[in-house]
Structure 1
Amino acid sequence: MKARFQSRATTISLGIGVVLIWSTCFVTIKLSSLGNEPLTFAAIRALLAGIVLLILSTLGGCLKPPSNTWPWLAVSALTGTSLALWGMFGSVPIEGSVIASILGNSQAILIAPLAVIFLNEKQTLWRWMCLGIGFLGLLLVIVGKSEGVGTLGGSLIALLASVGLAISSLVAKRLSGQMHALTLTTWQFLLGSIPLVVAAIIFERPYYFRPTDKALWSLIYLAVISSAGGSFIWNWLLKRIDVTSLTALTMLGPPTSLLLGLFIFDERVTMIQWAGITIALVSVTCLQWSEDPSHHDR
């Protein structure tokens, strides 16, 4: 029992660490003023992450995936990389880092019914209630924003990122038992970068793009630390915990982004938003300790 508790604590700690890194992405994008060419920035981020992972997987001798997994890898790449990164970079200039982060991290709500349908994961009434409470917390953070909720178009773009990440997590969970996490992550970014590169060439002429020093360092952080490192750990964790519990940790992202916005951009946090943050944190805690221990990897 003690070993199982320690293993679960380690798993949850790693998951929280990844979410905290990911929650800085929206703020990093805004801080670096990456908004004029979102497709170009998204393509560079995906391609750079893919190259780093390609080198690591080649050195580790785990580059080649099973031949029957290519269609699923393509789905994961198109949703979790192409769609998610476009939604992230495209929504921040319109919505700002806080609202984009809230909507872009709502996959915890989307994943539960999809996991029931496609992965046969069991959800108790208590867990549905926890998810509902967490969703209420996120809504309070949105509606409590003093200057308004934002534009419909920007919200939809941010939600597309969340939908893409939710689908990708389901596919990655399905593939986690068939290949090394490094293999899975490598092809997610290599394949996912292709549509972004093509779209950037067509719509933004990336060959004229010259990033500032701040933008360059931001891209390195986003690609190497957040995308390559964070996504690899996330896919590794999918082997050890059910996808609903793991994805529920992403509810920690919006409150973190909100606090970063408070300290970095001096954004005002209302009492309603503080209430929403508290509710979301309570929801995540309840979800993590309501998981059936039999779901956890032995």
Structure 2
Amino acid sequence: MWDPGRPGVPADLRPDIPHPARMYDYYLGGKDNFPADRAAAEKALAANPEFRSTARANRGFLTRAVRCVADLGIDQFLDIGTGIPTAGNTHEIAQAVNPAVRVVYVDNDPIVLSHARALMSGTGSGGTTVLQADLREPAAVLAAVESEELLDFSRPIGLVLAAVLHFLRDEDKPYQVVTTLLDALPSGSHLILSHGTADFIPAAVRDRVTGVYDKATAPLVGRTRDEVRAFLDGLDVLTPGVTTVPLWRPETTPSPDADRVSMYGAVARKP
């Protein structure tokens, strides 16, 4: 774990300002976070205690969705906004299906990159690369991947945007970001998407939670089901469509409130 009081911690980690990736790590029970992240996460949990279970449900969705896409024969993935590595990363899931799968992770947070690179230095990570780039600049993301010839853009790619687009404000043009990325991918590529929503929580709770993230390095913008569905326009959406993440092809019986979890998920194919 990084210690903000320990010499050698890079200044650009900004340990005094909460970061969504480190807060998410805290929700999942990780240790790669700072006191400011933990304090902010506890405020968010006080407003909405379901944050922790939602984060875990999203990890379960990612596991099932990546396995589904790998089973369909996709052998290369571009995972943007990957977050701090934890159990069940994209490369682990996909390479369990096909050890030859190549995965490129992209994130803009130095602590995420540091931990991801340390993870990839171990055995069993196959063809895996970590790049620093910002989702808000999709052309730069694509240029970085293409310049290193890390993925073959003439063959289908699995694009993973898991729990990241809700950190883009409307002025960041999130729909244009997704369109730019998809336009660069060939037919047969798949989009794995999950996105936070406030559809099932009172407005007062939503405002308390967004207030916490407004003081972090990125906001939290919950979007409605229809707004999330709009990211998939022009794509062939796999069954069961846009659902709350526990209801996307569950492998066990979902809990009674699974249809009210504050995260939507979907997988779609580019025609």
TM-score by shorter chain over 0.5:
no
Question: Which has the larger Rg?
Answer: 1
Structure with greater contact order relative to length (CA < 8 Å, sep ≥ 6): 1
TM-score (norm 1): 0.26
> Larger helix proportion, structure 1 or 2?
1
> Larger strand proportion, structure 1 or 2?
2
TM-score (norm 2): 0.28
